[in-house]
Amino acid sequence: MSNLAKPPFQSDLDIAPPLLPAQVLCNDAQALDAAHALAKAARLQAGLRDQQRRLPWAEIEQFSRSGLGSISIPREYGGPQVSFVTLAEVFAIISAADPALGQIPQNHFGILHGLQSAASEAQKKVLFQRVLDGWRIGNAGPERGTKNTLELKARITRDGDDFILNGQKFYSTGALFAHWVAVKALNDDGQQVMAFVQRGSHGLRIVDDWSGFGQRTTASGTVLLNNVPVAADLVVENWRLGQVPNIQGAVSQLIQAAIDVGIAQGALEDTQRFVREHSRPWIDAKVERASDDPYVIADIGKLHIELHAAQALLRKAGQVLDHISAAPITEQSAAHASIAVAHAKVLTTEVSLLVSEKLFELAGSRATLAEFNFDRHWRNARVHTLHDPVRWKYHAIGAWHLNGKLPARHSWI
């Protein structure tokens, strides 16, 4: 880890980041205002942070202080419970400025939604209140060296009245910035649980060894767990999510799609700005400015259409989730939610890759200079869209419409 990436409180002995006072927002409009304010601040040095792998600590702290971390908490627990349409828009706004900053809390929100179905009433009261107080939740679910992303080697074993946790995680987005690390492990009965490990716990170590060429400042690296003690009341029976119809996967995918929309939006804004201010027109165009080249104009128009289509499907997916979550969720309604989000995810994946690639064709060779760091848009799009293969979205959509087949129930559909 470079000195630039290592905060002063990070060491081999895990120490929690500072807990700062957080406000609680009241409604969707306030959430959108806070997202725009954060995006304005994050945009200033987003390219430099990417070049230097400088982690966005100040921006994450602004995220928490602003109250954005608790916008999805249900009203009965003191939160504003914004709509899914707003939640997606918040992530798109932030990700247009810095998609790494957008990705860091994505699991925070996915976990909060899962708690609504899997946690006990006592657990929800404690965990939701902590988030309202400004606590951040980081992810420690995926592992390397397993046959697929669902297989777990981490184990949690009974130790008197409480538990001991052992294992190693990777792709642990948000963990380094978190106050609680949510660890998926198998219990003594072979069932999946989620243990909430407080930062600074004995035996916990978080390593910033993420070396992906995109989303470079997410710190999505390794979490080491060596006989970590966990209180029994902080172990959530996550296996229950697989027993009842739910929209956990759809919510997770909605946020993923929103980040990709943000990447496309940011890339398109940079394309247009560069073409207007720096690009030279092609000699055969016989125009004074690159922005008057008829082929460039047409391509910009096409990109806007593609982006608007993706945004429209994302908004429609959020509306579907809002409608479905307002009633008891059934197998059919849960499947409908997943398919609606899959429609959006297909287009958001494609448009983020398309716009970030088209940037260079339209802006010209000068846009490839390192001083502009525009390649970060494609690198971010390519890495983030690899969370789950979009080819399986096409399959799920086709199987649903053609044969009425319900999609699988997991976090990737």
What local confidence, expressed as pLDDT, does residue 5 receive? 43
> What pLDDT sits at residue 35?
98
Mean pLDDT of the chain: 95
Per-residue pLDDT tens digits for 8-20: 444 468 999 999 9
What are the pLDDT digits (tens) for 105-130?
999 999 999 999 999 999 999 999 99
Mean of pLDDT values over 18-39: 97
**pLDDT greater than 70 at residue 236:** yes
Provide the pLDDT for residue 1: 36
What's the pLDDT tens digit per position in 317-329?
999 999 999 999 9
**What are 154-178's pLDDT values in tens digits?**
999 999 999 999 999 999 999 999 9
The 3 state secondary structure assigned to the chain is CCCCCCCCCCCCCCCCCCCCCCCCCCCHHHHHHHHHHHHHHHHCCHHHHHHHCCCCHHHHHHHHHCCHHHCCCCHHHCCCCCCHHHHHHHHHHHHHHCHHHHHCCHHHHHHHHHHHHHCCHHHHHHHHHHHHCCCCEEEECCCCCCCCCCCCCCEEEEECCEEEEEEEECCCCCCCCCCEEEEEEECCCCCEEEEEEECCCCCEEEECCCCCCCCCCCCCCEEEEEEEEECHHHEECHHHHHCCCCCHHHHHHHHHHHHHHHHHHHHHHHHHHHHHHCCCCCHHHCCCCHHHCHHHHHHHHHHHHHHHHHHHHHHHHHHHHHHHHCCCCCHHHHHHHHHHHHHHHHHHHHHHHHHHHHHHHHHCHHHHCCCCCCHHHHHHHHHHHHHCCCHHHHHHHHHHHHHCCCCCCCCCC
Q: What's the confidence (pLDDT) of residue 147? A: 86
Q: Give tens-digit pLDDT for 374-384.
A: 999 999 999 99
- In order of their start, the domains of the chain are 28-136 (1.10.540.10), 155-240 (2.40.110.10), 245-403 (1.20.140.10)
- Reported as a pLDDT band with limits 50, 70 and 90, residue 281 is very high
